[in-house]
Amino acid sequence: MSQSLLYHAFGVREGCEYRSTKYAEGRVEFHLAVKDEAIDCPHCQGREYWRRGKRQ
């Protein structure tokens, strides 16, 4: 999968890594993972954080 396509068509930002594509019930699902170096604190933009959980 082209990172450029994901960025321009769906707004996926740099720092996400494409994992797979699933076709289910008439929809297309792109599965991505966020690279550790792309994560920062949403409040202070600091790089020291505790990563807990996940979001789909």
pTM of the complete model: 0.59
Give the pLDDT of the chain (56 residues) as one tens digit per residue: 677 888 888 888 788 888 899 998 999 888 888 877 777 777 787 777 666 666 66
Q: Which distant-in-sequence residues (6+ apart) come within 8 Å of 30 by Cβ? A: 1, 6, 10, 12, 18, 20, 21
Structure tokens at 30: 């792109």
Phi, psi of 36 (to 5 degrees): -55, -40
